[in-house]
A and B are shown apart, each in its own frame.
Chain A
Amino acid sequence: MSYCVNCGVELDKDAARCPLCQTPVVNPVCPVDTTIPPNFPVERREVEPVNRREAAVLLSAVYGVVSLCCVVLNLLFWWRGMPWSAIVAGACAMLWVWTVLPLLLRSVHSIFLVGLDLLAVAGFLWVISMAVDGGSWLGRLALPIWWGCSVVLLFLWYILPLRSILSRCMLVLGSCVVLMLWLELCIDLFLGGYQPMWSLVVAVVGVTLMAPLLIIRYRPDLRREVRRRFHF
């Protein structure tokens, strides 16, 4: 029998390293016995994951029925002059992507699902624009705004969980500033010429808030000092 030189515990005869501290077993008198069967089985098995298909089917059926009813009603009362059922159907399709896909695609990374959700929003915007046939605002206003929001959201979704609280605050602030600048740019270009006004105010406030955070974040002595002064 061998002992871990680090922990002082006796080990299995077939243990090549200590399970507690990973120190390799080197015992010239009693080499690691690889012939004896291991103390625990090696075969792995997993129970089947919970079947979410029932919930997915149910939700799909609900969305399908709602869309279908609206289409029928719309066909019966066409006199409104507008295919409003298309909007309802589009909303149902978007909700389907939001709620049913996470049930079906459980193993994929959440950022992929968020991407799909955003694509669904774009699709819904397109359906609305087709229904009210105002194609111009879609390409010039809605899609650029959607594009900006998507980029910022995906970026934050990816990066936030990995950061400290200080960095998170900075990232959220910075993203807000970028988003506001982009928003005003889109709106101004849609209305006529680009004349930055309110977004610049937001940007100045945001950057002013970020600056001290940035300094505190990257100057350890300052960070300690702030902690000492504010007792946290």
Chain B
Amino acid sequence: MVRRRGQDKGWFQLDNAAMMYSAIQSGTYSAVYRFSAVMAREVDPQALQRAIDRTMPRFPGFHVKIRKGVFWYYFEPDDTPGPYLQPDIQNPCQPVYFQNKDQLIRFFYYRHRISMEVFHALADGGGALVLFKTLLAVYLRELGEEIPNQEGILDVDEAPDPQEWEDAYARYARSRVRLRKSEPRAYPCTGTPEPFYTLNVTMGFVSVQALRQVAKSHGASITEYLAAVLIQSILARQRREGRRRELPVALAIPINLRPYFPTRTMRNFILTVRPSIDPELGDYTLEEIISQVHHHMRLHITRQEMQGVITRNVFFQNFLPLQLVPVPVKNFVVDTAYRLAGNRPYSTTYTNPGAFRVPEQMAPHIQHMEVVLGQSYTPRVNCASISYGDVMEITFAGTVKETDVERDFFRTLVQDGLHVKVTSNRRE
């Protein structure tokens, strides 16, 4: 087994998704996402730094450097001290560069908010939330609270388990068919670009209870309902542009594969589904969009189909002629292909890592959770949501000046009888 041999040597391979993320990372793009917890009390930076120092050794896969080999990138354990807690900044999710001093994970604090930014090659949202939850528990213990190791909180005194760092894609690439999906061009929901380092973040807060009721009245889950409302706002935007021929509006929705393929890995283990609506076929009501999204997700999120896609992705990764192409060439090809095609099949991304559950002793110390997706090549907003307790937080983030997508999105929620509270880091 290559992986085990690699771990003995003190390095390990990137998984399938990580290879893509590191190949397309560049001066103008990197896949960085942020989770924040807004605490009940103001953050104590000293206690939080102590908590980080105690927690990180349990998660060696997050404290790594990315190195360029001849044929592939690989991870190497980072033996420098850190990561260090920093005061928060207005423009989150700055790109990551693969230079020696750059951390692939960052921690910030601002008043009540604790934030963690992760480079997507390290882990997906599911894996990063395990670290974040454990960190919050350790932090609260530093403040003198009694927090049990429940609800997915790991014991930081245990030794790290190699199974938590397995490449689950490689393990489940066992299908007889290498499934290939056609992904036609979608409406690129782009607007006026801001200077690159500006990330406009707009957050909306909705009651989970009320949202579930509304989604249920439409016969859909919360994710399906929110995705449908997002598609509707993008359709309306395309209509306002007055194009002669309207393109399909398609979302990239990452799906956590862990419920379908048992694994304990904290590295990437996601695939995307692509619900879409083609306005050339005619106008869709919200009801019809919800129904389309609902059935698309139920039809395509199957263990068999996803295994076929994993097999195909991993096949390319292990295909010998491709392996022998040096890294710079590979990067150039993947990057160009992504610029030309990767963004094209999707109008934007919507991700919902689901409910953030904590032990009941921890619950009173956290007000709500927040999630932000980082910068994208093209000036457009992407959408992410996370729920905690009865608060569903929905973020629109992007380097684009216009606010029409999120405006229509939240107005639709208000029209459906939901109470929405909105906040933003935009300054006039």
Q: Using CB atoms and an 8 Å cutoff, list the residues of chain A in contact with chain B.
A: 4, 7-12, 15-22, 37, 39-51, 227, 232
Contacts and interface: CB of A to CB of B under 8 A. Distances in A.
Contact of B420 (A9, A39, A43, A49): A9
Interface in B275-322: none
A51 B99 contact: yes
Contact of A39 (B94, B410, B423): B423
A44 B414 contact: no
Interface string B95-107: 1110100100000
20 contacts: A4-B422, A7-B407, A7-B410, A7-B414, A9-B420, A19-B202, A20-B202, A20-B406, A22-B403, A40-B88, A40-B425, A41-B110, A42-B90, A42-B427, A43-B88, A44-B90, A45-B91, A47-B102, A50-B26, A232-B244
A219 B154 CA distance: 70
Contacts, number: 92
In terms of DSSP, what is the predominant structure of the interface of chain B? loop
Which 5 A-B pairs rank lowest in CB-CB distance, beginning with the nearest? A19-B424, A40-B425, A20-B407, A8-B414, A10-B421
A45 B89 contact: yes
Which of the four size classes fits the interface of chain B?
Answer: 35 or more
Contacts of A17: 428
A106 B18 CA distance: 28
Most B-side CB within 10 Å, residue of A10, A15, A20: A20
Given A8-B414, A20-B202, A47 B407 contact: no
B197 interface: yes
Contacts of B414: 7-9
B91 A9 contact: no
Contacts of A15: 423
B27 A9 contact: no
Contacts of A45: 89, 91, 94
Contact of A10 (B201, B406, B419): B419
Contacts of A7: 407, 410-411, 414, 422
Contacts of B406: 20
B90 A19 contact: no
Contacts of A21: 403, 407
Interface string B65-101: 0000000000000000000000111110011110100
